[in-house]
Chain A
Amino acid sequence: MTSPNNATLLQVEGLSKKFSVAGRWPWQKRTLSAVNDISFSIAPGETLSLVGESGCGKSTAGRMLVGLTAPSAGRILFEGQDLSGQTASQQRAMRRRIQLIFQDPYGSLNPRMTVGELIAEPALLHGLADRRSANDRVAELLGLVGLAKRHAGRYPHEFSGGQRQRIGIARALAVEPRLIVCDEPVSALDVSVQAQIVNLLQSLQDRLGLSYLFISHGLSVVRHISHRVAVMYLGNIVEIGPKAAIFDQPSHPYTRALLAAAPVPRPGARQASVALAGDMPSPLDPPSGCRFHPRCPFAIERCRREIPALTPGGDGRLVACHRWQEIPAFQANAPGAQHAPKTTRLLALYRQAAANSNSRMSSN
C-alpha cells in the first residue's frame, strides 16, 4: 500500500445538498437536506472511505464530486481549482480526472456495445486516443484490470458480475483519472469475487498512484482498503480520522454502534452488542440538536439543543459529539475476535498454496 503524501488532491469545503420535495400537498414544498456542510480532503494515492447506513448522504456526496449532482452550497477544489466557477470546457477537462465506479456494473454498461467499444468510448470522447490507437489502448486497459485481449469483442451479458466490475474499472481508467469515486463497488459481489476486486483496486492504486473515495457500508472491506475513514449520519460527518483511530478507538457513539453491530466470523466473538434501537430518522424531519441524539445511549439534555461541531478528538481525528471525552472507553475487539490457531494455520497453508499455483499458472 502506498503511503499517501501530504499534498492535497481534493479539498471539499462546506459541501451541502438540499433537495426540494413535495409535502403533504403537491404545492407544498419541503426541503430535504441530504448532505449537510461536510468538509474533507484526499491526498494523492490516498483512500478515504465514506461509511454510513442507507440514507446518510454518502452517495449524494460522491455524485457531487463527479458532477452528477450540483451542490447547493460549498466548494470542491480539485488540484487547487474550484470546480464550480468554471466554463463548460474547463469542467469537462477536470471531470476527466475524477471518475466513478458504480455498484451495479451491469446497469452502467450499454448492452449493445462490445466491451472494446465501451472501454474505447471515453478515451475517444476526451481525445485521449484516436480510432487507430484505440485498440491498443483497450488491450492495455483489459490487461490492467485482469481481463484478456480477446474479451474486447464480447458483450456485457457474457460476463460474470466480477468481470463486469472489472470492465467498469477499465472504463474509468481509460481517461487517466487521478481520483476514482467508488460507490459501493463490491457490495453486489460474492465474497470471493469481492476480494479479487479489492485486490485489483489496491494494486491499481500502487501502480498508478490513484486516489479513491470509497463509499461503502461494508465495514470490514473499508477497514481493509482505507487510509482514512469518514463516518456519516443523516447527512453529517460525525467522525473522521485515520483508519486505526476510527476502528481501534472510535469516539463517536454512532461509530461505536456501527462497529459493534458488524457480525464477526468467529462464533461467540461479537460481544452482546449495544444494539442500536430504532431506525434512522427521516432527513425531511431531522431531530433537533445532535441528529443522533434520539438513538444515542449517552444523550443528555444538551444534545437535544446544541448541534455539536467537529472538533479534534485525538489520534488525528475530528469528532462531532458533546460527550466523547466523558463516555466510557470502547472495547474494540474482544481478544477472541481472531481465528482459532488451527484455522490460522490452514489459512496460511491456503494462501501459500494459492500463491504457488498462481505463479505456476502465470509461468506457463
Chain B
Amino acid sequence: MTPDVPLIEVRGLRVGFHTSGGTVAAVDDVDFSVRTGETLAIVGESGSGKSVMSLSLLRLVPSAITSGEILFHGEDLLAKPAHAMRDIRGGRIGMIFQEPNTSLNPVQTIGDQIVEAIQLHEAVGKAAARARAVEVLELTGIPSPKARMRSYPHELSGGMRQRAMIAMALACRPELLIADEPTTALDVTVQAQILDLMRELKANSGAAIILITHDLGVVAEMADRVAVMYAGRIVEIAPVTDLFDGPEHPYTIGLLSSMPSIDGDSDTLTPIEGSMPDPLALPAGCRFQPRCPFAIKRCAVEAPPLETVRPGHLSACWRAPLLETLTRGGQQ
C-alpha cells in the first residue's frame, strides 16, 4: 500500500447532456481522489449529480459529454479504448447498484452470473470459476452457498439479492468498489447486515470504496471521508468526524437540521426552504445561495471556489469558517 498515491483521482470532471432546452451539466467541474483502503462517501439529494458522476467514472453514461480526467493508477480512463474499459469494469473496479432486482439477470442463475463475470475477466476454467463463485457467496454470508448457486434472483429476498450482487462485484477482487445507494431499498435490520458486511470485506480485501448515498446516518457509519454534492458540484469535502463535528457549508448544516434530532427531542424540523434549482436555469453566483439563510450580497455575484478551511477540510462558501464569521458578525 502506498498511501501517498491516490488510487483514483478525478480532475475537473464535467458530465453534460444535450436536452431540448440546451446543454445541461449534471456534474460540473468536480475534483476528488480516493486512496487505497479508503471509503469516500458522496452525499447529496436527488438531482445533485452524484449518481451520474459515479456512473461516468466507469463511462456507463453513453449519451453524456464527458470532459476532464479520471486517473486510475495514473492512467486516464476517459482516454482508454472501449475494450480496455470493458476489462476494467467489473474487473479492477466493481460496482454495486441500488436495485439488485434490475441489475441481476432474471433468467440466469446466480451462480452462472458470477461465473460469467469471473470468466470475462480472468482466464480460468469453468470448475475453478464455480469454486471461486461459491467462495465469494460464502464470504457474503449467504446460507448454503452451493445451493444458492442454482437459485434464480426471484427466489431470493432483497437482502440476499444484494449479497449476491456484492459477491459478483467482489468475484474479481476489485481494487475499487463503487456502491450506488447499496442499502436504500432494504429494511433497516437488513441494511445493518449489509453495512457490516461491506465494512468487513473492506477490512479484509483492502479495496477502496466510493459510496453514493443520501443517508447521513449511513455516511457516519461507513465513510472515512465525505464529499457533499449540490447541483452538480462538490460544496464540501472533509474527513467524516470533521464534517459531522464542524460542518463548513450551509447546505450540510441544512441537511442535518432537516433530520429529526438524534435524541428525538426537538419540536419542529428546520427544512431547507425551496427546492433544487433547475439545471437549465442555475442561479448566479453560489448555486445554494437562493436557499441559504446565511447568504450575503457577494454570494449572488461570485461563485465561491472549493477552498481549504482547515487541513483536509474544504468548503465552497464565502462565509467559511462559518462559526467564526457568524458569531463575529454580531448575529448572536
Contact = CB atoms under 8 A, between A and B. Distances in A.
A262 B188 contact: yes
Contacts of B268: 199, 202
Nearest to B213: A263
Contacts of A338: 262-263
Contact of B322 (A220, A265, A346): A346
A341 to B, nearest CB: 9
Nearest to A54: B187
Interface string B119-150: 00000000000000000000000000000000
A190 B251 CA distance: 13
B259 A333 contact: no
Contacts of A263: 191-192, 195, 215, 217-218, 220-221
B18 to A, nearest CB: 21
A350 B275 contact: no
A275 B198 CA distance: 14
B201 interface: no
Contacts of B246: 340, 342-343, 346
B255 A192 contact: yes
Contact of B262 (A265, A275, A357, A358): A265
Where chain B touches its partner, the secondary structure class is: helix
B45 interface: yes
Contact of A223 (B216, B264, B270, B323): B264
B23 interface: no
B258 interface: yes
Interface string A133-176: 00000000000000000000000000011110000000000000
Interface-centre pick from A221, A265, A337 (highest chain B CB count, 10 A): A265
Interface stretch (A8-16, A23-31, A266-274): A266-274
Contacts, number: 182
Contacts of A268: 220, 241
B256 interface: yes
A4 B266 CA distance: 19
Interface in A173-202: 190-196, 198-199, 202
Contact of A199 (B261, B271, B323, B331): B271
Contacts of A340: 244-246
Nearest to A270: B221
Contacts of B331: 349, 352-353
The 4 closest A-B pairs by CB, nearest first: A263-B217, A195-B271, A353-B293, A224-B260
Interface residues of B, number: 59
Nearest to A194: B258
Given A1-B267, A269-B220, A346-B322, A279 B45 contact: no
Contacts of A347: 253, 256-257, 270
B253 A350 contact: yes
Contacts of A195: 257-259, 269-272
B212 interface: no
Contacts of B244: 265-267, 339-340, 343
A265 B217 contact: yes
A223 B265 CA distance: 9
B214 A191 contact: yes
A18 B187 CA distance: 23
B220 A267 contact: yes
A257 interface: yes
B214 A343 contact: no
A333 to B, nearest CB: 6
A233 to B, nearest CB: 11
B46 A192 contact: no
Interface in A249-307: 257-258, 260-270, 273, 275-277, 279-280
A342 B270 contact: no
27 contacts: A162-B275, A191-B45, A192-B254, A195-B257, A195-B258, A202-B268, A223-B264, A258-B188, A258-B189, A261-B192, A262-B188, A263-B220, A264-B217, A265-B219, A265-B220, A333-B263, A343-B247, A346-B246, A346-B247, A349-B323, A349-B326, A350-B270, A353-B294, A354-B270, A354-B273, A354-B293, A356-B293
